[in-house]
Chain A
Amino acid sequence: MSRPDWEVVIGLEIHAQLNTASKIFSGATTAFGAEANAQASAVDIALPGVLPVLNKGAVERAIRFGLAIDAEVARKSVFARKNYFYPDLPKGYQISQFELPVVVGGQVTIRVGEGDAAYDKTVTLTRAHLEEDAGKSLHEDFHGMSGIDLNRAGTPLLEIVSEPDMRSSAEAVAYARALHTLVRWIDICDGNMQEGSFRCDANVSVRRPGAELGTRREIKNLNSFRFLQQAIDYEIQWQIERIEDGGRVEQATVLFDPDSGETRMMRSKEDAHDYRYFPDPDLLPVVISEDWIERTRAALPELPGAMRARFEADWGLSAYDAITLTSSRDAATYFEAAVAAAGDTLAKPCANWIMGELAARLNKAERDITDSPVGPAQLAALVRRIADGTISNNAGKKVFDTLWSEAGADVDAIIEAQGLKQMNDSGALEAIVDDVLAANPKSVEEFRAGKEKALNALVGQVMKASRGKANPTQVNEVLRSKLGG
């Protein structure tokens, strides 16, 4: 996808649904999945005479977000009306923020790519503003007519707008993932993408390196990271081909079709609405006091960026490990509890177990880490027994199996019951090694002739003879010394 003769410019607008119990301007519940229109109050269906009343919880969440990205929380912001007609927009206008948003600026550091090619990048945010969601139009099952479900109308959204800082779909996805982690971390959004709680619009343009910004097209409503990546990649390709074929990119809004993997035009610039924004006279300006900001700041948890830096600095974790473990607040909490029980020096093996065996098991069982049958204290006990040489890493996996299937089991009791203790008696081991060398002259011959691989066969034989209890490192040492290596 990457073409050195073209530069890609991407900015994202992300709509995060705020997890308030009630809607942003009415008392109706925001719970997902009710019967159509069962959760639409008089305000939500815009009966004549009704008025909006701002939900403070939505503002509180916007403040939390602003503080988390080190942005300016506006001491005064203003709700405006965005006027357009659509059947699922009951008032004929959406209440949003236009000239004076609640959050201004801010930045998010992202990690892009994997392995040696991975790099950090800071994405600058333009703003984040509060607004209400619209309802939904249902085009099936109404005998050629359309149905309207207003349950979602009035659900609070935080629209998070980035600067056009991203230069590839990978950067865009890394940024979207970082925000997805952050909004859940600070508990303002449940992040459920299938239910539409976190949706992305991508503004994409291409230009020759160093040239002026190209004309952008906006891809609307991407509700998975995979679609975000696919849609951007398709769009880049499409725009480059178009220009290389002598055509021009016209400003437009497009939709991504996951089935075909293509974007298609929804409306051109000529069809763009004039939204006739003006301050909503039904709502007072939102005034946020220093005190409110300070109280909110004090209640914020340690943020993923700070935690990642701490894991790297204090416990020597790699950037990759630190990012993986701070991909959710629950994972980080688990990891910290495990390290607290195992000791700082065992942070790295704790990390490996969590990202390896535990993650694989949870994934397979479709369970959340908060719901893990193996608790952090148990995992720590297991890591310590491996570290102090009581059991081998392989035996550790057996212990883990038992911990997983038998709730609350004790690590030492499992080691005892299953006889997993490593053979740390060097006399007994030397006897076994002698027997194995005597029984395998061919392998001995080969090793001495310079065939390193032959040693593995001998190690395997010793492990087998010890019924897995020998410490493989020790076996290696003893074999090499006896073979005069």
Chain B
Amino acid sequence: MIEASLKDLAAALRAGTLSSVELTTLFLDRIDALNPSLNAFITVDRDGALTAARAADARLAAGTAGPLTGIPLAHKDVFCTEGVRTTCASRMLENFVSPYDAHVVSQLKAVGAVMLGKTNMDEFAMGSSNENTHFGPTKNPWNTGRVPGGSSGGSAVAVAARLAPIATGTDTGGSVRQPAALTGVTGIKPTYGVVSRYGMIAYASSLDQGGAFGRSAEDCALLLSAMAGFDPRDSTSVERETEDYTRDLGKPLAGLRIGLPKEFFAEGMDDDVRAATEAALDQYRQLGATTVEVSLPNAKLAIPAYYVIAPAEASSNLSRFDGVRYGHRAPEYGDLADMYSKSRAQGFGAEVKRRILVGTYVLSHGYYDAYYLQAQKLRRLIAEDFIAAFTQCDVIAGPTSPTVAWPIGEKSDDPVQMYLQDIYTIAVNLAGLPGLSLPCGTGANDLPVGLQLIGNYFDEARLLNVAHGFQQTTDWHRRMPAVG
């Protein structure tokens, strides 16, 4: 059952051979058994899940069920959930209970999906390893001595270890795609504006985008279809017709033009990652696709641009965590300024503080033009590179991450090494394009390698089908880590 696709689970639920309560209990029990060693969940809501499962069973019995009715899932703990605490993996929000649901959460509730709990993450989505968390690092199920990637590492692990069939995540610089790659699952970040950010606690507003984890592109397509859609409460939400992201699944890949950015293949990638990536591209050629070299000359500037823009926005977004209205307040303080500084010093972890400091600095009087404005110019150049590349190809392919999962603690004292992990993913966020990572092989120590596919704006359905075509003819996405 834990191996079944969403389609098969939905069929079984509809046929009555399986109830949502049974399915939910199965996953809750797996969480109870495995979460202590994986630390994928911060909060598990057994009672809430079973209540939702019973309601889903009633809908199934009444014949009003949709494809996700009764399906258990996990939410990254960045999405506000009414009545269930939302921590962002921060001491600042350790006891914060939102009085409202994020748009994504309410959409999934509305279709009858069953929330199992909230997953671990890098604090306020800042990190690439899931080590920056107040609740302890999340472990990679392929090797619990290694990181799962981040910041949506908890959701990736939940899906990889079959603690949940699907999970939500967010991706600001690679936070869905990179952990998907490092844990051997499929993850998609849609075009900026496709998924409402309402109720998704902001890290860097102009880059943050909700995304989906599943064990296959098909499962991701089903989840994304329920998450996406125009929301008037988010001014950056794009007003378009709702889409069925499964609509292109099964279309043949013959004639597909895959662009290979020469900058992505030049250097910096580990040999094992390169070998798996090349093998995957061969597989695509066998499916009738052609590959063409493209160039993204400004992509190398993505990391510096990102580490100006994202901290700038974060420094402002995180100002609301001041200890005045909710969240952590220092138990003892002198005057108002002391209350602010003690509460924030105690409530935020080191990486969050680092980015707030950087962001405050780059926005300061006299530095704004040199940093923030300059970074915005780079951002436009990077987007223009992609637009030019898409005149030569339908999708762009390359590695998701330059390495496989690394040992916990190895990079945690070296922020720059950590930042370089996102070298292939960040440009996609800066351009606002959709990106996807699918498992495409293994590297050193039998650890998963992810292939990144980048689509043109609003080309999610095609992107999902390109991944689906690969998964129809390969088994990498079916491999399961030896846990439990």
| A residues apposed to B, CB below 8 Å | 42, 45-54, 81, 83, 85, 87, 90-93, 148, 274, 276-278, 281-284
B322 near A85: Cβ-Cβ < 8 Å: yes
Q: A83-B316, A87-B324, A281-B205 are in contact. Are A50 and B363 (CB under 8 A)?
A: no
Interface pair B233/A49, CB less than 8 Å apart:
no
- Is there an interface contact between A49 and B200, defined as CB atoms closer than 8 Å? yes
Q: Which residues of A contact B88 (CB under 8 A)?
A: 48
| B276 in the interface (beta carbon within 8 A) | no
B304-325 CB contact bits vs A (8 Å, 1 = yes)? 0000000011011011111011
Contact status B316-A52, CB under 8 Å:
no
17 contacts between A and B (CB under 8 A): A48-B88, A49-B86, A49-B200, A51-B198, A53-B233, A53-B234, A54-B235, A81-B316, A83-B316, A83-B319, A90-B324, A92-B319, A93-B319, A274-B364, A276-B364, A281-B206, A284-B236
Q: How far is the CB of A169 from chain B (nearest CB, A)?
A: 33
Is A48 touching B320 in the complex (CB atoms < 8 A)?
A: yes
In the complex the two chains form, is A47's CB within 8 Å of B336's CB? no
Closest 8 CB pairs of A and B: A92-B319, A276-B363, A281-B206, A281-B205, A49-B199, A46-B320, A48-B201, A49-B80
Q: Is B240 an interface residue (CB 8 A)?
A: no
User: When the two chains form the complex, which single residue of B199, B340, B364 contacts A50, counting CB atoms closer than 8 Å?
Assistant: B199
Q: How far does the alpha carbon of A90 sit from the alpha carbon of B327 in the complex, in Å?
A: 13
The docked-state distance in angstroms from the alpha carbon of A274 to that of B232 is 33
Give the interface residue-count category, chain B: 35 or more
Tell me, in angstroms, the Cα distance from A50 to B204 when the chains sit together.
14
Kindly list chain B residues whose C-beta atoms are within 8 Å of the C-beta of A54.
235
Interface presence of B283 (CB below 8 A):
no
Nearest A residue (CB) for B124: A48
Among B93-101, B125-133, B160-168, the stretch in contact with A:
B93-101
Known: A49-B102, A90-B325, A276-B364. A282 touches B235 (CB 8 A): yes
- Alpha-carbon separation in the docked complex, A89 to B204 (Å): 20
CB neighbours (8 Å) of A51 from chain B are: 197-198, 233-235
A53 to B233, CA, bound (A): 6
A283 in contact with B320 (CB, 8 Å): no
Q: Among B202, B319, B340, which residue has its beta carbon within 8 angstroms of that of A49? A: B202
Q: Which of B98, B232, B234, B313 contacts A47 (CB 8 A)?
A: B98
Which residue from chain A places its CB closest to the CB of B202 in the assembled complex? A49
Given known A-B contacts A90-B320, A281-B313, A52 and B198 have beta carbons under 8 A apart? no
Residues in chain B near residue A83, CB distance under 8 A: 315-316, 319, 363
Q: Which residue of A lies closest to B102 (CB)?
A: A49
State in angstroms the CA–CA spacing of A92 and B200 once bound together: 18
A39 to B96, CA, bound (A): 22
B373 — nearest CB in chain A belongs to which residue?
A278
In the bound assembly, the distance between CA atoms of A83 and B313 in angstroms comes to: 11
- Closest CB of chain B to A144's CB: distance in Å? 13
Most B Cβ at <10 Å: residue of A42, A48, A90, A278: A48
Interface mask (B96-129 → A, CB under 8 Å = 1, otherwise 0): 1011101000000000000000000000000000
List residues of chain A with CB within 8 A of the CB of B265. Answer: none
Say whether A92 contacts B320, CB under 8 Å: yes
Distance between B392 CB and nearest chain A CB, rounded to angstroms: 31
| CA of A397 to CA of B322, assembled, Å | 66
| In contact, B80 and A274 (Cβ under 8 angstroms) | no
Contact A278 B365 (CB under 8 A): no
- How long is the Cα–Cα vector from A85 to B205 in the complex, in angstroms? 20
Please provide the chain B residues from 276 to 329 with a CB less than 8 Å away from any CB of chain A in the complex: 312-313, 315-316, 318-322, 324-326
Is the CB–CB distance between B96 and A48 below 8 Å?
A: yes
- Give bound CA distance, A274 to B367, whole Å: 11
Specify the chain B residue showing the minimal Cβ separation from A82: B316
- Name the residue of chain A whose CB is nearest to the CB of B199: A49
A91 neighbours in B (Cβ, 8 Å): 319-320
B225 within 8 A of A: no
Residues in B neighbouring A274, C-beta threshold 8 A: 364-365
B200 touches A284 (CB 8 A): no
How long is the Cα–Cα vector from A253 to B135 in the complex, in angstroms? 46
The answer to whether A276 touches B198, judged by C-beta atoms less than 8 angstroms apart, is: no
Provide the residues of chain A in CB contact with B93, threshold 8 Å: 48
Residues 195-218 of B at the A interface (beta carbon under 8 Å): 197-202, 204-206
Q: Is B360 located at the chain interface by the 8 A CB criterion?
A: yes
- In the bound complex, how far is the Cα of B233 from the Cα of A283, in angstroms? 11
> Which residue of A48, A81, A281 is within 8 Å of B80 (Cβ)?
A48
Give the distance to chain A from B172, nearest Cβ to Cβ, in Å: 12
Which of chain B's residues have a CB closer than 8 A to the CB of A53?
Answer: 232-235
Q: How far is the CA of A148 from the CA of B233 in the complex (A)?
A: 26
Apart from A45-B325, A92-B318, A92-B320, list 10 A-B contacts with CB within 8 A. A47-B80, A51-B233, A83-B319, A87-B322, A93-B316, A148-B324, A274-B364, A276-B365, A278-B372, A282-B202
Shortest A26–chain B CB gap in Å is 10
In whole Å, how far is A195's beta carbon from the nearest beta carbon of chain B? 25
